[in-house]
Each structure stands twice: as structure tokens, then as C-alpha cells.
Amino acid sequence: MASLTVKNIPDELYDRLKTSAALHRRSINSELLIYLERALLPSNATPEQHLDKARELRQQVRTDRLLSEADITDAKNDGRQ
């Protein structure tokens, strides 16, 4: 495999990459590879495959923990005080 050195990364960009890596429990190098793959190797999934994945994810949502419209309104109003 090839190696790559990236120079002159702006501090803000590096900080965001570092934070993202920590959130995903990956090294900075692994996180950067994930971003490069997503940007340069687009998915060949069909729209139907994307919809199937969305339906699968939707079924995993716990409906007993969904917020009501009133809950959302209350949270917005609390944040405005």
C-alpha cells in the first residue's frame, strides 16, 4: 500500500478531523481514509438499495422513545429562556 503525508493542514480542519476520529473511536489516519473513500469511491448502490437501507434503519427506531410535538415545542421554548 502507498503512504501519503499531508502537509499544511489548517488547524480548524485538523481539529475537526481529530474530534471526528475520537467520536468514532478511530485513529486520525483511519478517519481520514474513511472520508477519502466516501469522497472518491462513491457508492454503486441503486436507489432501491438506499430505500431498503432506510427502511431497515427506520425499523430499528424505538417507538417508545419518540418525542411528541408537545415535547419538541417544550424543549424549544425551554431553550429560548
Upper half-sphere CA count for residue 17 (Cβ side, 13 Å): 17
> Could you read off the pLDDT of 27-62 as tens digits, one per residue?
999 999 999 998 898 778 899 999 999 999 988 887
> Could you read off the pLDDT of 21-36 as tens digits, one per residue?
999 999 999 999 999 9
CA distance 50 to 55: 9
Give the gyration radius of the chain's Cα atoms.
Answer: 19
pLDDT-derived band at 18 (thresholds 50, 70, 90) equals very high
pTM of the complete model: 0.54
Query: Residue 31 CB: number of other CB atoms within 10 A?
Result: 20
The residue ranges of every structural domain in the chain are 11-79
Containing H/E element for 16?
helix 11-23
pLDDT for residue 27:
96
